[in-house]
Chain A
Amino acid sequence: MHIDTGALPAYARGCAVLGSGGGGPVTIARAAALQALDDHGPVRVVQPADLDPDLLVMPVGTAGSSAVMSERVGGTDEPLYLRQKIEELYGTPVAALMASEIGGANGCLAVAWAARLGLPLVDADGMGRAFPRMDQTVMQLRGISPTPAVVCDGRGRTVVIDHVSGRWLERLVRAALEPFGGQVATSEYVLRGHQVASSTALGSVTRALRLGTALPAPLISGKVAETGSILVEGLGPDLGRLVRVEAGTEFLAVMEDGAPLAAVPDVIAMLDSRTGEAVDTEHVRYGLRVSIVRVPCDPVWHTPEGLRLAGPEAFGLFALPAPATSSAPPGGPPPAAASALREDPPAATPSPPQRPVTS
């Protein structure tokens, strides 16, 4: 399978849906991917089984501000510097790239950078969606070390971060943002080929492509009736219904009559009924006609470890009744190796501020 300029628009739409209302400006990243595919040709998508077990799979992405990304649009050399430093640190060649985060801009940037490096892209990613923190990954749950990790910019200014947990990696990267101008290219949780099948969200690329052409039936279709605390009023067949949407940098929960129709870690996407485009949390405005869809997350996020790292309570939503539809299906992946990394006390690394559920 390949991603070429023909397949990219659907893939980008799917990435926007998996952004769950966050994940950065897909428009810019999609344009960067189109340009890279134009310059270097299609990107081959490979399955984990096809990877050389001992060679490296390099997760890639950006961290920082959307506003910076839309102004200082990326350079061409970030992936070159990332690969060079990762190969030097691990002493092994990089055989393939993987999106750290399939949802939002980073899903498209992974395609752009794979094209620029002439490397294949693995049909997997670190999250299966977008999350606000770098450590909210399946690799973290599976005990893969986040470091040595590399942070760089388009000039090759590089910071290597080592000997820290996922939470500390997040803190150190955030601290590095200011001198880097508010946005950086990163690679962390580097994998060997044989680790991909058991330690990532699988099938992410094909999933984004599929979601770009067909979406699940909406939970509700209607209009945005309030934006401070987001309310969506049903229209047409949903007339008379009213749901509340909890949001931080992503959409976190959809509540109806005090019960959740959907909640993080499942993906919640809001689609503009007129254009079909995914609406991000910053652009929800009164009167917008929308439909809200729920896309199940990778089952690993519904395990106790997964919920602790990226469930409702990790986003400040306490005492949320579990949505009837989102319990972990039987036969899902086994729970993560829980104690591979010692986590720091939560007080040292506050979660992003979120509104509690009060209904």
Chain B
Amino acid sequence: MRIGIDVGGTNTDAALIGDGGEVLATVKSPTTEDVTGGVAAALAGLGATQVSAVMIGTTHFVNALVEAARLEPVAAVRLGLPATAALPPMVDWPERLRKVVEGASYLCHGGHEYDGTPISELDPEELRRVAADIRARGLRSVAISSVFSPVSDSSERRAAEILAAELGQEAHLSLSCEIGRVGLLARENATIVNAALRPLAERAVAAFSQALKVAGIDAPLFLSQNDGTLMDLSRATRYPVATFASGPTNSMRGAAYLSGLTDCAVVDIGGTTSDVGILVGGFPREASGEAMVAEVRTNFRIPDVLSIGIGGGSLVAEDGSVGPRSVGYRLPEEALVFGGGTLTATDLAVAAGHADIGDPSLVAGLDPARPLKLIADRVADAVDRMRTSSDPLPVVLVGGGSILIRELPGFEDVRRPDHYAVANAVGAAIAQVGGEVDRVFSGPRDTVLAEAKAEAVARAERAGAREGSVRIADVEEVPLAYLPGDATRIRVKAVGDLDLEKINA
């Protein structure tokens, strides 16, 4: 048996999945201030201790960034001089976050061209001077970036060795080659965010482990990553930024699992928003370009999600329009069906007989037809925006607020699977292990493609996938315009089943 837990901003959801893949038990409990309280309550609610693994998806780290709280100041070290001087690190950050996160920035020599030629030689003495300054400022988190590190990571690795030797064990080093893709500023930003979260990650991971111990569970713990695969605790401690979009990813993966579909649209309707994403081959379609997270431009891979302001707690205005304002987590007190004084979208669903929640007699006089039609139209419009062709597309509804929707104009196949309210926790529980390669390759297409695939499979196996279970989930080739020599950026993702014996070995 496995346990999947989703620690959201409002609720902590958990699901117990049997060895045959069946959902054995589910539980929802409020997320607590210390986060672990909610996890402990969820584990107690499930009541199972003899489990083989626990998977947690959490918005804890992304929320820290959104709130600009619990963050560590960062020393940003960039290798690439004389290139890149036009744009120093954090140049495009919102002032509010920059004040909290910017410890110091250093432009140093090093880095590479797109074909791996060094831009300039790394200067160990220069880096030792940087280390001395970092120490003098009392900074403990360091983000290292270098030009074209997705092509050649040697500058970052060498710089990390030098800085680690100078700064000692207490310093955390985050390397951009481990985090993002081509696009220096966006990759560097993600690396700086990661560095700012390192101390929090250590505390949170320790707290999650403690919650398991208290619940009497002695099983390996994993955290969900943005792409729907798992990372172990040592990686989670070093790369908290990789959890940022795990919430929507887990919802979508859970929806796929519960509905048995691998290619569909998923609408996750919560209390305040509806998040629409597209599943391709069982994995969320990822955003193609740069992703803004808390107003910081990053380029790590996150699912392409369109959010609209409609949820179970959305306020219904006099003219029948719904949202974007919502009573959010106060729904159980404020909605009419619960004896409150606010007309919410949930009241409409109850009045229409879609759901049996609270006291239906309290909404007996309500005519819900028109506002519910408006909701369906807006959600259908959002799904339509996200699709990539006009071919028929099944739509899977999940999340507590999905009772608002019965049918969607323009979509024939609309379904809401069992356990829809905890799809996110189910998605965490069924997560696999992945390996990814994203680099610029030069050479004959077949050769470099085979090379990239083999490397992705090897990475997945190193991350804990069972040999033989790993398959190529996604291949993307982008020829680089105006570059000589057939340079092509190739991205390959491989995923496989978690090999618990390997993990426990």
Q: Which residues of A approach B to under 8 Å, CB–CB? A: 27-28, 31-32, 34-36, 63-68, 70-77, 112, 153-155, 174, 177-178, 181-182, 223, 225, 249, 283, 285-289
Contacts and interface: CB of A to CB of B under 8 A. Distances in A.
Given A181-B114, A287-B385, A65 B480 contact: yes
A71 B147 contact: yes
Interface stretch (B83-91, B202-210, B325-333): B83-91
Contact of A182 (B88, B114, B119): B114
Interface string B70-106: 0000000000111111111001100000000000000
B84 A72 contact: yes
Contact of B483 (A28, A182, A285, A286): A182
A182 B92 contact: no
Nearest to A155: B82
A274 to B, nearest CB: 9
Given A28-B87, A67-B489, A182-B114, A285 B388 contact: yes
Contacts of A32: 86-87
Interface string B176-189: 00000011110000
Contacts of B117: 181
B480 A67 contact: yes
Nearest to A77: B82
Contacts of A75: 81-86
A72 B85 contact: no
Contacts of A72: 80, 83-84, 111, 113-114, 119, 147-148, 184
Given A31-B92, A35-B87, A283 B288 contact: yes
Interface string B377-390: 00000001111111
Given A182-B114, A225-B390, A249-B481, A71 B87 contact: no
Given A35-B91, A182-B482, A67 B182 contact: yes
Contact of B481 (A34, A66, A71, A286): A66
A65 B483 contact: yes
B385 A71 contact: no
29 contacts: A32-B86, A35-B86, A63-B482, A65-B480, A65-B481, A65-B483, A67-B114, A68-B114, A68-B480, A70-B184, A71-B114, A72-B113, A72-B114, A72-B148, A73-B184, A74-B87, A75-B85, A77-B82, A112-B86, A177-B483, A178-B484, A181-B115, A182-B480, A182-B483, A285-B288, A286-B388, A286-B389, A287-B386, A289-B385
B87 A73 contact: yes
B174 to A, nearest CB: 18
Contacts of B85: 74-77, 154
Nearest to B114: A182
Interface-centre pick from A32, A178, A223, A287 (highest chain B CB count, 10 A) = A287
A182 B113 contact: yes
A104 to B, nearest CB: 13
B485 interface: yes
A76 B481 contact: no
A286 B86 CA distance: 35
B113 A31 contact: no
B289 interface: yes
A142 to B, nearest CB: 27
Contact of B484 (A74, A177, A249): A177
A169 to B, nearest CB: 16
A283 B478 CA distance: 13
Nearest to B278: A287
Contacts of A181: 113-115, 117, 119
B484 A73 contact: no
Contacts of B289: 283
A176 to B, nearest CB: 10
A16 B386 CA distance: 25
Contacts of A73: 83-84, 86-87, 184-185
A36 B86 CA distance: 7
B442 to A, nearest CB: 11
Contacts of B388: 285-287
B484 to A, nearest CB: 4
Pairs of residues from A and B, 9 with the lowest C-beta to C-beta distance, nearest first: A181-B113, A74-B86, A65-B482, A178-B484, A32-B86, A76-B85, A286-B388, A287-B385, A154-B82
Nearest to A274: B385
A177 B484 CA distance: 8
A155 B485 CA distance: 23
A177 to B, nearest CB: 6
Interface-centre pick from B386, B387, B484 (highest chain A CB count, 10 A) = B484
Interface string B128-151: 000000000000000000011000
A65 B84 CA distance: 16
A243 to B, nearest CB: 17
B183 A71 contact: yes
A46 B195 CA distance: 46
Contacts of B389: 286
Contacts of A283: 288-289
Contacts of B481: 65-67, 249
Given A35-B87, A63-B482, 16 more contacts: A31-B91, A66-B481, A67-B483, A67-B489, A70-B185, A71-B182, A74-B87, A154-B82, A178-B115, A178-B485, A181-B113, A181-B115, A283-B289, A286-B388, A287-B386, A289-B385
Contacts of A36: 86
Nearest to A180: B113
Interface string B23-67: 000000000000000000000000000000000000000000000
Interface in B453-490: 480-485, 487, 489
A70 B87 CA distance: 11
Contact of A71 (B92, B184, B487): B184
B276 to A, nearest CB: 11
A153 B484 CA distance: 17
Nearest to A25: B183
A234 B182 CA distance: 35
A217 to B, nearest CB: 24
Given A72-B83, A75-B83, A75-B86, A287 B384 contact: yes
Contacts of B87: 28, 31-32, 35, 73-74
B482 A64 contact: yes
Contacts of A77: 82, 85
A249 B480 CA distance: 12
A203 B471 CA distance: 57
B112 to A, nearest CB: 9
A35 B387 contact: no
A63 B152 CA distance: 24
B484 A71 contact: no
Contacts of B80: 72
B183 A70 contact: yes
Contacts of A35: 86-88, 91
Contacts of A154: 82-83, 85
Nearest to A287: B385
A249 B481 CA distance: 9
A258 to B, nearest CB: 22
Interface in B417-462: none
A31 B484 contact: no
Contacts of A74: 83-87
Contacts of B111: 72
Contacts of B147: 71-72
A35 B91 CA distance: 8
Nearest to A286: B388
A182 B82 CA distance: 16
A223 B410 CA distance: 16
A174 B483 CA distance: 9
B189 to A, nearest CB: 12
A73 B480 CA distance: 16
A31 B81 CA distance: 18
A101 B119 CA distance: 27
